[in-house]
Amino acid sequence: MLYLDHAATTTMRPEALEALDEAHHRFNANASGQHSDARAAKNALEDARERAAGLLGMDQPHGIVFTGSGTEADNLAVIGASLASQRRTVAFSGIEHKAVLNAAGSLKRFGYVLHVLPVTSDGVIDRDAVSLVAGREPALVSVMLANNEVGTLQPLLEIAQQLREQDPQIVLHTDAVQAFSSQEVTFPRTGVDMISLSAHKFGGPKGVGLLAVAPGVTIEPLIHGGGHEAGRRAGTQNVAGIVAMVAAMEAAAQDRAGFTTRVGAERDAFEGVIVAQHRGAVVTAGTAHRLPHISHMRFPGVLAETFLIRLDMSGIAAAAGSACQSGAVEPSHVLTAMGYDDVATGQFVRFSFGWDSAEGDGLRAASVVLDVLRDL
Amino acid sequence: MRALVAMSGGVDSSVAAALMLEQGHDVIGVTLKQWEGPDGAMPTAGCCTLSDAEDARRVAAQLDIPYYVLDYVEEFTRAVVEPFVASYLKGLTPNPCIECNRNVRFSALLERTEELGCDVLVTGHHARIENHDGVFRLRRATDPEKDQSYVLHMLNQGALARIRLPVGEMTKTEVRGYAAKLGLRTAGKPDSQDICFVTSGDYRDFLAQQEPSVAAPGAVLDMEGNVVGEHLGTARFTIGQRRGIGVAVGEARYVVEIEPAAQTITIGTYDDLLTERCVATQMSFTDRPPALGDTVGVKTRYRSEAVPARVVATGARWEVAFAEPEPRPAPGQSLVLYEGEYVLGGGVIVDGRRRVAPVL
């Protein structure tokens, strides 16, 4: 099987696996306890918090809130910051992950007004729309650093500066889940107030993520209970998962330049061959700034649902749209936001490479994909 | 051979997949997502629910075959649900399973079978397909209690050649026994009885949700045209219906006429319901149609025995004359012609007394 679905989840990095295994043995105690085992776990937890904060360019580790997933981090950011604000408008781009879209949607019943920032056909936020939204006094603006389906990068720092000039009170959030492996994700480089991350997208385990919150930004907790995570997220901390996540963060951060070169080369080789040899194949947002590991393409006349099954049968794991509850492929809201109609949205497939993609995977995959296309 | 098995999450299609595997074929399981609520979720009640898809997925995993959920919501809505509602509004009694078979399962999915590189489409229907020297014949199931040949009457030679119905050779007890022997989780699962997209209450509740105008009340008339009561919408009734009319007169009364335009239903005695003829349009045949004057077996509803009838008209409107008077068939249901155990073909019943075009 040639695994080209790393954007869905990627292989665990050896550093993370090792840290996970070690922490399960050494730091299994409840970090909130009053004994030496608990202190060891608590120490590992706070050490991880400091290292994570350092990687994100934060002066103080306090702003790191460990969560159970990237989705939870997005929910905490969007709902938590909105509930903590006096304002009642929430803005986000139309290509956000469903974790942001549906978290914002859940606020409607509490009287919040939602404002969607439109994107261009390249999946980049319309800058005129940015100045427009500032005038609406939003509590929160959420813009992802890079899109998880098509891979386009947003000029987040410029958007942040533009918004702050117009309205210094806006709280800015970014879902950097898909970007972390290749982009320098820090507060100074993104210009935002909150950053969501998910461990399993950069080589950590599933079931753990974090929300980094800049000093001075208040959020209401969503999960109530004990005083864990400084009262912002109750529940016994998953110390092993957290330690493993931070080990993966460090490994991924160190590997960014290499990742971009290596993985980007495989992706480019893959796209090059397919576009050259399959008539009509088009790379989505091909001229925009994109993540190096995602290849999102349209094959006109080829139904993605059928194509994916044929690829699976030929040993290639790829993706299209997002899976619904039942596992059926749903039309992508991202493509709809980019202006594609219903017929077109059914014809896109995402191939995503990962940190452990081998040299030659791009060409090998392209050859199988072309075989399947010829046979369809 | 590579087989695409349509797995509903029930025991029949689970066993169909297992049998194809046992016969040495490459097997791929799929579940059709046909209907969803306003939030895009699969229904959680009725049949073809999320948990049914989950059962299918788990059985596929146990059999170690690839499994996918395919999205047919758009086709199903357009070809089955919308006509279902429209038919009731016109006083007809549609059979959505037949329309699904005609327009989704054995057309769209059959096309998809080829696109997915599969040679045959396999379902868990109880009926048999036999190859008689190159002519494919559709035969009743081995288990007369479970025979579903009625809802498969639209299959033509091209379709029959590419479909396999492995459980049609088995009784339901054998199917369950086989599933139990393999330890399949669906072995004891009850048969689905409902219309798959009606997730709560009965079809009347569904109609009211989809089309509030169905609740328009009107008069109940007797055979002489006298008003004898009131009803809560013509779509609540089917020709031949006896219960739920809400008019108490000594002898049993049946719905013999539904007039949506006038918003009236007419009730009468069993004798008033009897007819000697049945007319159908959109006839299709598994192979060659019977000839004018032939006597065939006919079924006018899923749950009834075939009765003898003579073909008295062919062409755009087929007409059969029953050997003995029969309760009037409900327009919208299917007239299916049999030659003994074998299905000859069928079409959609129209009101033979008035020349109105069927909706389906």
Contact A359, A307 (CB under 8 A): no
pLDDT of residue B356 exceeding 70, the answer is no
Residue of B nearest to A102 (CA): B39
Active-site hit among A309, A324, A358, A376: A324
Q: How far is A52 from chain B (nearest CA, A)?
A: 37
Q: B42-99 pLDDT, tens per residue?
A: 666 555 577 888 999 999 999 999 999 999 999 999 999 999 999 999 999 999 999 9
**Domain spans of chain A, in order of start:** 2-10+256-375, 14-254
Neighbours of B219 (CB within 10 A): 17
pTM for the model: 0.88
Contact A115, A89 (CB under 8 A): yes
Sign of the Cα pseudo-torsion (A367, A371, A373, B1, in order):
negative
pLDDT of residue A320 exceeding 50, the answer is yes
Q: B11-50 pLDDT, tens per residue?
A: 999 999 999 999 999 999 999 988 876 556 666 655 557 7
Residues of A in contact with B33 (CB under 8 A): 324, 326, 328
Q: Strands A171-175 and A140-142: what pairing?
A: parallel
Can you give the pLDDT at residue B360? 45
B176 in the same domain as B83: yes
Collect all residues with Cβ–Cβ distance below 8 Å to A332 and sequence separation of at least 6.
A149, A320, A321, A322, A345, A348
- Is B241 contained in some domain? yes
Can you give the pLDDT at residue B199? 75
Look at A328 and B66 and tell me if their CB atoms are within 8 Å: no
Give the single-character DSSP code of B170. S
DSSP labels, A7-41: TT--PPPHHHHHHHHHHHHHS-S-TT-SSHHHHHH
Residues of A in contact with B41 (CB under 8 A): 324-325
How many distinct structural domains can be found in chain B? 3
Select the residue from A311, A314, A325, A336 to test the B interface by mutation, using most B Cβ atoms within 10 A: A325
Closest CA to A294 of A102, A123, A57: A123
B68 in the same domain as B43: yes
- Residue B50 at interface with chain A, using a CB cutoff of 8 Å: yes
pLDDT of residue A221 exceeding 80, the answer is yes
Give the single-character DSSP code of A122. T
B29 in the same domain as B154: yes
B343 in the same domain as B321: yes
B140 in the same domain as B19: yes
Most distant pair of Cα atoms in chain B: their distance: 67
> What is the fold, at CATH topology level, of the domain defined by A2-10+256-375?
Aspartate Aminotransferase, domain 1 (3.90.1150)
* Alpha-helical regions (H) of chain A: 14-26, 36-55, 70-84, 98-105, 127-134, 156-166, 187-190, 239-254, 256-277, 304-313, 333-337, 342-345, 361-375
The CATH number of the domain covering residues in A14-254: 3.40.640.10
B110 in the same domain as B130: yes
Q: A106-146 pLDDT, tens per residue?
A: 999 999 999 999 999 999 998 888 989 988 999 999 999 99
The gap from C-alpha A291 to its chain's centroid, in whole angstroms, comes to 11
Select the residue from B39, B116, B119 to test the A interface by mutation, using most A Cβ atoms within 10 A: B116
Query: What's the rounded Cα separation, in Å, for the pair B66 and B147?
Result: 29
Contact B349, B280 (CB under 8 A): yes
B67 in the same domain as B174: yes
Q: Which domain holds residue B136?
A: 2-182
Residues of A in contact with B70 (CB under 8 A): 305, 328
Paired residues of B348 in beta bridges: B281, B334
Q: Of B167, B182, B197, which residue sits at a domain end?
A: B182
> Nearest by CB to A328, which of B70, B115, B116?
B70
Look at A325 and B41 and tell me if their CB atoms are within 8 Å: yes
| Structure tokens that stand for B250 in this block | 């000594």
Can you give the pLDDT at residue A262? 98
Query: What's the rounded Cα separation, in Å, for the pair A187 and A258?
Result: 22
Query: What's the rounded Cα separation, in Å, for the pair A280 and A272?
Result: 13
Query: What's the rounded Cα separation, in Å, for the pair A357 and A354?
Result: 5
- Is B34 contained in some domain? yes
- Is B202 contained in some domain? no
Sign of the Cα pseudo-torsion (A343, B40, A195, A68, in order):
negative
Length of chain A: 376
- Residue B41 at interface with chain A, using a CB cutoff of 8 Å: yes
| Structure tokens that stand for B82 in this block | 């919308």
B66 in the same domain as B134: yes
Closest CA to B93 of B350, B265, B353, B330: B330
Winning range, highest mean pLDDT, from B56-70, B201-215, B243-257: B56-70
